[in-house]
Structure 1
């Protein structure tokens, strides 16, 4: 239990530092809007996501880079997290409602055991999840999700468009995903 508290404290401290350096450009001017725990970046303010790849809960591997050209909704969750249980149906419903618009979803399971995570997902979501018990993938993001649950939306070019630091509902998430999906990708020379 003490190790989990230490890991959670370290996670919070590092993500706060990453957040402060990732959201401010030269001269300390904000690069993205942060309102009520939702960070939204206009296309000209977005930074590329780092490598988001790893072993899937049920075996195999996944690399977000293979999804270039699609909007990718990345949800950080744990089976021990009550808000994660509450948002699971809304995530799945948003996935089903938007997948024909070239939108894909990916879960990233953190601070969990594989067996509990697999049991949690069973019958709840149909999209894959990476097993990341050490929360390493979250720490690599320029605009980090510093809560669990958290949802990061990558645009079609693999850039961070939105970070939601709270549980989501379909009514709140789907319009954001649809707006990002409706954006035109930058011309090849501007990527």
Structure 2
């Protein structure tokens, strides 16, 4: 019994870190989820310091193939999420609100559903929340691995690309709508 109590307290601490929305899960440790502190608000990376995003693609939730070529010429918001992730359940509907505001201004949103046990859970979440932007179903986290130079291996994570397909901002942890809007406004204001 004495050995079980510390293990139970440790598990509770992990769950409470996730439930507050203040944490993120590191999914590169053999499939185990480890929650750590989130980073502060994202900032735009100066244009001269931006690196090209890797090419990636996959199968969309609900079917159909998709490639990163579809983002050409647009500012793009890539959000790594899972229906099992409490901060994601708050953040994804908020992303839908921002998407509705900016989709006609040359901004694309793409969800990247990772580490989901069953595609039905992801699809049910998207449907129940009225999410209109597409999501790739990536249970093995292959796209996150393509972005291994950025903290896309944490859930939630968001990477914002400029119109030239370069990584312009990176968030680990949940993103506040105002922070996302500020980054998008800055990138849309670039020539």
Q: Return the alpha-carbon distance in structure 2 between the equivalents of residues 167 and 110 of structure 1.
A: 15
Aligned-residue offset at 1:182: 1.6
Aligned-residue offset at 1:143: 1.9
Query: Mapping of 1:105-184 within 5 angstroms?
Result: 105-112=109-116, 113-124=118-129, 125-141=131-147, 142-184=149-191
Q: Return the alpha-carbon distance in structure 2 between the equivalents of residues 156 and 79 of structure 1.
A: 29
Q: 2:54 aligns to what SS in structure 1?
A: coil
Larger helix share, 1 or 2: 1
Q: How many residue pairs get matched?
A: 158
Work out whether 1:82 is the aligned partner of 2:86.
yes
Larger strand share, 1 or 2: 2
Aligned-residue offset at 1:6: 11
Aligned-residue offset at 1:169: 2.3
Distance 1:37 1:179, change over 3 A: closer
Aligned-residue offset at 1:69: 0.6
Aligned-residue offset at 1:38: 3.2
Residue 36 of structure 2 corresponds to: none
Q: Return the alpha-carbon distance in structure 2 between the equivalents of residues 79 and 110 of structure 1.
A: 9
Q: Return the alpha-carbon distance in structure 1 between the equivalents of residues 26 and 68 of structure 2.
A: 29
The alignment's C-alpha RMSD in Å is: 2.1
Structure 1 consecutive aligned stretches of length 4 or more whose deviation exceeds 4 Å: 5-8
Q: Return the alpha-carbon distance in structure 1 between the equivalents of residues 113 and 103 of structure 2.
A: 21
When Rg is computed on C-alpha atoms for both structures, the one with the higher figure is 2
Q: What TM-score do the two structures reach when normalised by structure 1?
A: 0.76
Residue 9 of structure 1 corresponds to: 29
Q: Return the alpha-carbon distance in structure 2 between the equivalents of residues 165 and 57 of structure 1.
A: 23
Residues 27 and 153, structure 2, Cα contact 8 Å, conserved in 1: no
> Gapped runs of 5+ residues in structure 1?
13-34, 185-191
